[in-house]
Amino acid sequence: MDSLFWSRLHGGATHFPIAFVLGAALFDGIAFLLPGSTRRRLEFATIAYWLMITGAAGSLGAVFTGLILSHGVIGGSGSLLRHHLFVWPAFALIIALGVWRFLVGPMPSRRGSAFCLGATGLASACIAIAGFFGGEMLLGH
């Protein structure tokens, strides 16, 4: 299969995990800001829980297609290197957060929620920067 196919497949495969992780950060933040153990807080935390798990699962397809597209090169030079410098830490954080959320459940402790929110924010920042450099490769800059 040609690289145009893999480029399109990779571009399509990345959107859901990115949106799900950013959504998880948003709903985790809302849940964290709500007081006590209210029903509303549990609802927002549950949404964040499922978004993170599905985002982590979806990130596997994004990474798989990206590796095929880059012919297995992890690193590279130029925009590919900059893309990989941010995508691999983001991927590791997203997978770790997905597994952690699965094991802990939708309503972690207050300390766990704070940790999760910070790690999800960091993963979101890394994936946004990686996406920027991925776009730069696509546009040929």
Q: Is the pLDDT of residue 141 over 60?
A: no
pLDDT of residue 13: 86
| Long-range CB pairs of 64-68, under 8 A, 24+ apart, other chains included | 64/13, 65/6, 65/9, 65/10, 65/13, 66/10, 66/14, 68/6, 68/10
Q: Which of 113, 119, 67 is nearest to 90 (CA)?
A: 119
How confident is the model over 54-87, as pLDDT tens digits?
A: 999 999 999 999 888 888 888 778 888 898 899 9
C-alpha angle 109/124/110, rounded to 5°?
Answer: 10
User: pTM value?
Assistant: 0.88
**Domains identified in the chain and CATH numbers:** 3-139 (1.20.120)
How confident is the model over 1-52, as pLDDT tens digits?
A: 577 888 888 888 888 999 999 999 999 999 999 887 789 999 999 999 999 9
